[in-house]
Amino acid sequence: MSFHDRVFILGSGAIGLALAVHLVNQNREVILVRTSRDDVSEKKTEVSMRDVRGEIIKASMNMVSLSKLEKLNGLIVITTKSYVNKMLASKLLNKNINSPLVVMQNGLGVENPFINNDFSEIYRCILFATSQTLDENFIQYKPIAPSSIGIIKGNSHNLQKIVTLLDTPGFQFVIEENLQDKIWQKAIINSVFNSVCPLLEIDNGIFYRNEDVTRIATEIIKECLVIASASGITLTADQLLQQVLKISELSDGQFISTLQDIKNKKETEISLLNLEIARIAEKLELKTHVAKTELLGKLILLKSEIHMQKV
């Protein structure tokens, strides 16, 4: 299967906007696609981004609602929240998609709705970057490490083309051979950040600044590793803790997406992080091993629901 050097970014959140800015500034053709609104006819929009050096980078790109597109002839990158994937897969089926999908989201099993709907090519991206919205179409972006892309359903030739197309100096991508290990690695790290930081209402830097919070991270990691190991994944507690501390230091002052979602009265992705690990543990008859991980996930879910109910 071939695809043109055009990138459709589905989702206009902080990560989608950051990716768009980097691609446009490397002369890639980008279409920013709104999935939550049906009333946006194709128009030019300008996005501003503060990079890791504090510099402001701007880019102009086309934006349009998914409902306004008859076809998507190009690489499709999905940066929406993962809880809309079932709905999104249904909408894309009606577009007769014949292009590769790159699922650029956090969590375990986020690609399943696209697998279940038999999309022909599916690739999974594990993000190692943080981005947050400062104002409308104004974001702050910090890279942590090159983000990995691997094959869920597809081929190595197109994977190389995808990585080459998306890779830019400021938002880097690499090919990932050990995809499932990397997915679990990031899911466990996210289960730490996306539960502890929102409950403390603190930025990502707390883990490398505070030893007591680091100990909590260590406990969550050890619990999750029991389930990962039982699922055939090979990771170590020290490896994951060092990753948490590295991300914490590099994204010091940045607020995790789950905390941003709670404050904005939006649904979170915790069901595909802590709570998904708990569901897998239950299937493996190991649920007692993830008591703290599950409790933190339930508290985030409750906190989110309470905030959404507030006027």
Residues 161 and 20 reside in one and the same domain: yes
Question: Rounded to an integer, what distance in angstroms lies between the CA atom of residue 214 and that of residue 199?
Answer: 15
Residues 137 and 206 reside in one and the same domain: no
CATH number, domain of 153, equals 3.40.50.720
Question: Does residue 276 belong to any structural domain of this protein?
Answer: yes
Predicted local confidence at residue 34, as pLDDT? 94
- Token duo for residue 188: 């466990």
Amino acid identity for residue 201 in this structure:
E
List pLDDT tens digits, range 278-311: 999 999 999 999 999 999 999 999 999 999 987 5
Question: Does residue 204 belong to any structural domain of this protein?
Answer: yes
Residues 140 and 249 reside in one and the same domain: no
Residues 19 and 158 reside in one and the same domain: yes
Question: Does residue 162 belong to any structural domain of this protein?
Answer: yes
Predicted local confidence at residue 180, as pLDDT? 96
Question: Does residue 1 belong to any structural domain of this protein?
Answer: no
Question: Rounded to an integer, what distance in angstroms lies between the CA atom of residue 126 and that of residue 110?
Answer: 11
Among 250, 249, 199, 202, residue whose Cα is nearest residue 220: 199
Residues 207 and 162 reside in one and the same domain: no
* Boundary residue ending a domain (177, 208, 229): 177
Residues 117 and 225 reside in one and the same domain: no
Residues 245 and 204 reside in one and the same domain: yes
| β-bridge mates for residue 125, sequence order | 104, 149
Residues 230 and 269 reside in one and the same domain: yes
Residues 168 and 56 reside in one and the same domain: yes
Residues 21 and 169 reside in one and the same domain: yes
- Token duo for residue 93: 């089926």
Residues 18 and 136 reside in one and the same domain: yes
At residue 45, φ and ψ (nearest 5 deg) are -135, 145
E strand segments, the chain? 6-10, 29-34, 43-50, 56-65, 75-78, 101-104, 122-126, 129-135, 138-143, 147-153, 173-175
Strands 147-153 and 122-126: antiparallel
Predicted local confidence at residue 1, as pLDDT? 43
Question: Does residue 149 belong to any structural domain of this protein?
Answer: yes
* Boundary residue ending a domain (177, 209, 234): 177
**Cβ neighbours of residue 253 closer than 8 Å, sequence gap 6 or more:** 203, 204, 205
CATH number, domain of 279, equals 1.10.1040.10
Predicted local confidence at residue 84, as pLDDT? 94
The count of structural domains within the chain is: 2
Question: Does residue 30 belong to any structural domain of this protein?
Answer: yes
The burial of 17, by beta-carbon neighbours within 10 Å (0-12 exposed, 13-18 middle, 19 or more buried), is given as buried
List pLDDT tens digits, range 134-166: 998 999 999 999 999 999 999 999 999 999 999
Low-confidence ranges of the chain (pLDDT < 70): 1-3, 311
* Boundary residue ending a domain (177, 192, 215): 177
Question: Rounded to an integer, what distance in angstroms lies between the CA atom of residue 92 and that of residue 119?
Answer: 9
Residues 189 and 114 reside in one and the same domain: no
Overall pTM surpassing 0.75 (yes/no): yes
Question: Does residue 141 belong to any structural domain of this protein?
Answer: yes
30: containing domain: 6-177
| Spatial contact of 295 and 275, defined as CB atoms under 8 Å apart | no
